[in-house]
Amino acid sequence: MSGTVSLAALFGSLQLRGPVSPLLTLICHVDIHQSILDDCSPATLLRISWTCKCAHTAIRDYMGRAFDINRHLSAWFPDPIAFRALQARTTMLISGSNALQYLNRWFYPGSDLDVYVPLRHIHEVAGWLNNIGYVFTPHNGQLEADDFAEAVGDMEESLAHRAVGIYRMRGVAGVFNFVKPAEGDNAGKKIQLIVVSRAAAEVILNFHSTCVMNVISYSHAYSLFPHATFESREALLCREDEAIPPEVLVKYTTRGWKLFPTRPERTMDPSFVPGSRWIDDRLSWVLPLPTVGVVPADFPPDPIAQTNWQLEYRFDTRDVTPDPLQYDFTERAVMRYSLIKSPFLKHIYTLTDELLVLAVSGAMEGVSSAWTKTKIRLGRPWLRNEDMPK
């Protein structure tokens, strides 16, 4: 898109007195003001939009282009609307670095698209990708499988022996790579289908750091820690079950984030205040996405919209010494939640509010008239060593 935005469209109903200055006319040129706004943080965009009607209209126009989800997804799919309709049907989510790139308005060359798919929908999503030209490409752990169906069967067999599967990341049952052949549209693109064994929110809350805790559903984009991620450029490290690979730390520090392995002492960022959170609370960033042509107007919201968790800090005493006075009592961030599962619920949810958990469990008990038919499992914020696959 190029050229000059019409002053009528840019200024709306604002009545200007006298001639428009050359400087203002220059700023109204879309290529110029887009270059300026591309370097503004989300909060800066919001503040600019508050200054006057002209700025409000310009920011609205800019955000419509910068956060065009269909244009963003067109790098992977010839028909982004069809993919988003598939998202809605299967509750599939986009997360990881791609969601971060979308909300940050950046693009990392060579990056993959990570989609999180419930186990019961893996064949439907894989079949859809096959139909648009993506090919299953086994990774090193799947080389013995003859095809995708056998690789899925191996994954399901591992789940039969262990609920968390063979992957070390909590809530992930398996990962399947699909690559577009190096010809035609979207050539060379790679999509990772990350199979969710329970709730997608569980996987997201167990990411290595807060800066990648962002997610895109068919109807909304969410950032769980937006102020720290996009304004302060800070992130808490949250993985305690194992050491985070050094290359991950290097990647995100190179991209401009300051990583805190323990509770930061000098930051006043409101995102890092401990307490109960909801994915659409005042500390989150919720960006509505257009759904015209994706789903009917009365289509139900994605279950990720009902995500509740608690940020807390716990003393880390893993480095035990013979002298208790020399324990390293550093406070590390953990995400606390409970998994709510019942045969009377279509999805599995994460909750942390104890009264709400009790109310839900009581309701399920009343419906089932037997407590044993309702499964409520307290979510552990990390896996202990003895829980890890051998």
In a domain, 333, yes or no: no
295 dihedral zone (left: phi>0; alpha: psi -120 to 50; beta): beta
**Is 100 found in the same domain as 54?**
no
**Is 145 found in the same domain as 88?**
yes
78 backbone dihedrals φ, ψ, rounded to 5°: -70, -25
Q: Residue 208: pLDDT above 50?
A: yes
The whole model's pTM is what? 0.82
**Is 203 found in the same domain as 145?**
yes
In a domain, 169, yes or no: yes
**Is 138 found in the same domain as 41?**
no
**Is 131 found in the same domain as 33?**
no
In a domain, 23, yes or no: yes
In a domain, 382, yes or no: no
Q: Euclidean distance between the first and final Cα of the chain, in Å?
A: 55
Q: Which of 281, 305, 329 is the last residue of a domain?
A: 305
Separation between Cα atoms, residue 179 and residue 186, nearest integer Å: 10
382 backbone dihedrals φ, ψ, rounded to 5°: -160, 165
In a domain, 312, yes or no: no
Domain of 59? Answer: 7-66
Q: Which residue has the higher pLDDT, 265 or 28?
A: 265
**Is 43 found in the same domain as 100?**
no
Tens digits of residue pLDDT in 355-364: 777 777 777 6
**Is 145 found in the same domain as 21?**
no
Q: Which of 273, 305, 337 is the last residue of a domain?
A: 305
Q: Which of 16, 47, 66 is the last residue of a domain?
A: 66
In a domain, 272, yes or no: yes
- Binning pLDDT at 50, 70 and 90, where does residue 3 land? very low
State the pLDDT at residue 19: 59
Mean pLDDT over 272-285 rounds to 93
**Is 88 found in the same domain as 25?**
no
Number of domains into which the chain is organized? 2
Tens digits of residue pLDDT in 104-125: 998 888 789 999 999 999 999 9
User: Which range among 87-101, 128-142, 221-235, 323-337 shows the weakest confidence by mean pLDDT?
Assistant: 323-337
Orientation of helix 122-131 relative to helix 80-90, angle to 10°: 170
In a domain, 334, yes or no: no
Orientation of helix 30-38 relative to helix 53-66, angle to 10°: 80
**Is 129 found in the same domain as 270?**
yes
Q: Residue 376: pLDDT above 70?
A: no
**Is 168 found in the same domain as 57?**
no
Tens digits of residue pLDDT in 29-87: 667 777 888 889 999 988 988 988 878 888 888 899 999 999 999 999 999 999 999 99
Mean pLDDT over 3-18 rounds to 40
State the pLDDT at residue 167: 52
21 backbone dihedrals φ, ψ, rounded to 5°: -70, 150
Q: What is the mean pLDDT of the chain?
A: 80
